[in-house]
Amino acid sequence: MAEEKAKKGSPEEAENGEMPMILADNLVKIYKTSELEVLALQGLDLTVEKGELLAVIGNSGSGKSTFLNMLGGLDTPSAGRLFVDGKNLFTLNEKQLVEYKRDTVGFVWQNNARNLLPYLSALENVMTPMQFTTEKKKRERAMELLELVGMSHKKASRLNQLSGGEQQRIAIAIAIANSPKLLLADEPTGSVDRKTADYILAVFRELNRQGQTIVIVTHDVALSKQVQRVVAIRDGKFSSERILKEHYSLNLAESTVNWQEEETQEEFAIIDRAGRVQIPRQLLEEAGVEGNKLRMEVKDGKIVLEKV
């Protein structure tokens, strides 16, 4: 099962059957200034099925935010294709793109000032993006969402009366106010303590259990180790994929698990369409590899790499 998941990602295979929630095909992004060019994405491929909870990890500058902004309809590639819920994001006109941002995707930003309007109460913030026709329906739905994220008791509070963790939980309620097909979260636990981070992850899990597709960009090791599937981005393309081991998958709510320290996932290398594999620098250093050459051969059905 895990090996099959790790090998998925062919656009042709995905389009022959039901479209996945996300289909990224050979995405390239080049940022140009008068003095230099920055290659943010270089041939990125990814498939995310409907109902998945996926974490994207990587160092600063690896391309995580660029990819997330593309999913949110905030950026376009220099080359490649990107489908979300069957929509080709790079052929949408301005009106269709506004509708996409309103109805298809919800965004939880790392900076809470982008999530909440400071002069409104928590309840009013959650009501603001709603498309319901009556104030009564908006208020009822907003209260349901505040209850879901454990913030109904703060419905009358404004931004300056809320802690960072409370703001982030309300931001999640705002992001799902219109029942988006895809929920995006940019470092949702980056500025909160461990207890609050665990609560936020529990909210995401509950939303996912209800069928919500979620993509989280994170540096939070403990969070990423509790997610069913994690993809690592390095130098503008996905380099490896981790799948939660069955034992941990069955014990996600187990308080005795040390999610920070234990090896909860099995890691797979990603082979791109040209047959290339990225080997993490850490593994090369552990093997004592110097220079840029490795000896490679097949032994008993296994590909063996040895230092020269």
- Asked if pLDDT for residue 51 goes beyond 90, the answer is yes
Rounded Cα gap, residues 285 and 300, in angstroms: 26
Query: Which of the four pLDDT bands, split at 50, 70 and 90, describes residue 242?
Result: confident
Other CB atoms within 10 A of residue 120 CB: 14
Residue type, 175: A
Residue type, 88: N
What average pLDDT does the segment 4-30 reach?
A: 67
Q: Cα(148)–Cα(89) distance, rounded to whole angstroms?
A: 31
H-assigned helices in 149-274: 164-175, 194-209, 221-224, 246-249
Name the segment(s) of the chain with CATH classification 3.40.50.300.
Answer: 2-104+180-277
Residue 154 near residue 77, CB atoms below 8 Å: no
pTM attached to this predicted model:
0.84
CATH code reported for the domain at 2-104+180-277:
3.40.50.300
For residue 272, the number of C-alpha atoms closer than 13 Å in the C-beta half-sphere is 19
The SS3 call for residue 38 is strand
What tokens were used for 284? 């090369």
Does the pLDDT value for residue 279 go beyond 60?
yes
- Sorted by sequence, the CB contacts under 8 Å of residue 271 that are 6+ apart come out as 277
Percentage of the chain surpassing pLDDT 90? 34
CA distance 45 to 42: 9
